């Protein structure tokens, strides 16, 4: 499993290097408070990375955290001693 993850990471790194190398045109990035020039390849890779991070945060906030809360609640109920009636 580690080998597969390593190979996938290496493939993504190589793809990023190819994208960066093939898109060397200078583009201005305007952030409202300032403009800075960068290459198109870097701008594409940064935009892709920001999109992946935003998607991961959205999934974490909407799915992972509520499921962890439910699991913790269920474990507390299961670990509690049974009440006698």
Domain ranges of the chain: 18-78
pLDDT band at 85 (very low <50, low <70, confident <90, very high): low
Distances in whole angstroms, Cα of residue 45 to Cα of each of 16, 23, 62, 74: 7, 11, 26, 42
Rounded to two decimals, the pTM is 0.75
**CA 46/CA 38 separation, integer angstroms:** 11
pLDDT band at 15 (very low <50, low <70, confident <90, very high): very high
Distances in whole angstroms, Cα of residue 43 to Cα of each of 49, 51, 61, 75, 80: 10, 12, 27, 46, 53
Q: Is the pLDDT of residue 12 over 70?
A: yes
26-78 pLDDT, tens per residue?
999 998 999 999 999 999 999 999 999 999 999 999 999 999 999 999 999 99
CB 39 within 8 A of CB 26: yes
**CA 11/CA 5 separation, integer angstroms:** 10
């Amino acid at each position: 499993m580690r080998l597969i993850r390593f190979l996938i990471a290496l493939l993504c790194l190589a793809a990023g290097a190819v994208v960066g190398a093939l898109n060397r045109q200078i583009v201005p990035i305007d952030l409202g408070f300032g403009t800075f020039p960068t290459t198109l390849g870097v701008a594409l890779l940064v935009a892709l990375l920001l999109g992946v991070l935003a998607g991961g945060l959205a999934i974490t906030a909407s799915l992972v955290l509520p499921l962890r809360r439910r699991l913790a609640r269920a474990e507390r109920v299961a670990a509690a001693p049974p009440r006698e009636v």
